[in-house]
Amino acid sequence: MNSKPRRATYRHGNLQTAALKAAYGLVAKVGHERLSLREVADAVGVAHRSLYNHFGDREALLDAVATEAYTRLAGRLKKAQTPEDYTAIYIRFALANRAIFALMASRPHATMKYNPPLQTAVHKVITEAMRIFCADIETPAARRRAVMKIYITLYGGISLYAAGVLDQPSEKALIAELSAMNAGM
């Protein structure tokens, strides 16, 4: 009897990684609201049931995509040296990846404690904000308020700009305006 060793990876590589990559691309193209496991499975060439070995359900796959997006954003934010750099990097990421950014914003913070990888990725972004904006702030409560103010300003400005409500002539003008609002944190 000829027995072959069991493979640790999908025949064309790692299925989990391939599915995550496909889902990221599909979310970027059509938005997270319309993503289905069948669509992701079709993109990687497997039966949709195969994805359940790696993702408990559609929400788990969306959480994995959001984790990847926060990780990518945090990597970019590490290059920021000033509040203006941070603001510009954050805004450019959000506007260049609108559907991905919408997915990121859709993940409920209250449930992140049940998803350590997502929580860790989000905290990497927050850590970069604290590094840039909170160096001179002494108390944890004051640092928390400062970071909340920054994110409320960024999210609100980006959302209003993307919807065409905020009267800014360009991305560059938006960056300048939100940088000025966040100055002196």
CATH number at residue 116: 1.10.357.10
Q: For residue 121, is pLDDT > 90?
A: yes
Residue range(s) defining the domain that contains residue 148: 15-182
The answer to whether position 27 is within a domain reads yes
d(CA 98, CA 88): 15
Amino acid symbol at 84: E
The answer to whether position 6 is within a domain reads no
Q: How far is CA 70 from the centre of its chain?
A: 3
The answer to whether position 99 is within a domain reads yes
pLDDT at 6: 47
Residue 27's nearest CA partner among 56, 68, 55 is: 68
The number of folded domains in the chain is: 1
Q: For residue 9, is pLDDT > 50?
A: no
Q: For residue 8, is pLDDT > 60?
A: no
Lowest mean pLDDT among 11-15, 30-34, 87-91, 107-111: 11-15
The answer to whether position 9 is within a domain reads no
Q: For residue 4, is pLDDT > 60?
A: no
The pLDDT tens digits of the residues spanning 67-92 come to 999 999 999 999 999 999 999 999 99
